[in-house]
Amino acid sequence: MLVYDITKQQTFDHVARWLEELRGHVDKNITIMLVGNKSDLGTLRAVPTEDTKEFAQRESLFFMETSALESINVEPTFLSSSSLLKGTKLVVPGQEPIPVGGYNCCKYS
């Protein structure tokens, strides 16, 4: 997740660089979500939603706006990001799962 503050244009201006750095250091098959926070402060909005939607579409990102203060879309953001991973097997190096049936290293025939 890349999170920016909808009330501060500067935070959104950094998203392209953050995205470039992220893509340069992770597997190409990851899902990236762009999250605009502080949607409860709509009167102070500095980043237009349409600009963000266009950027997200152009960069193939999922997009959502949230308000951590008022708990708006926070849970759905995490639930939707986890549902994007359904059926995806993530293996962390050094924490590979034990095969079904355990190891057969010491089994005698």
The mean pLDDT of 68-97, rounded to a whole number, is 65
pLDDT beyond 60 at 107: no
Cα angle vertex 79, ends 48, 28, to 5°? 75
Higher pLDDT among residues 71 and 85, named by residue: 71
Domain ranges of the chain: 2-70
pTM for this one?
Answer: 0.68
Q: For residue 8, what pLDDT band results from cuts at 50, 70 and 90?
A: very high
Q: Looking at residue 77, what is its pLDDT? A: 73
Q: Secondary structure of 4-68 in the HEC alphabet?
A: EECCCHHHHHCHHHHHHHHHHHCCCCCCCEEEEECHHHHHHCCCCHHHHHHHHHHCCCEEEECEC
- Specify the 3-state DSSP secondary structure of 81: helix
Domain 2-70 top-level CATH class: alpha beta
- Specify the 3-state DSSP secondary structure of 86: coil
pLDDT beyond 70 at 27: yes
The amino acid present at 30, given as its one-letter code, is I
Higher pLDDT among residues 77 and 35, named by residue: 35
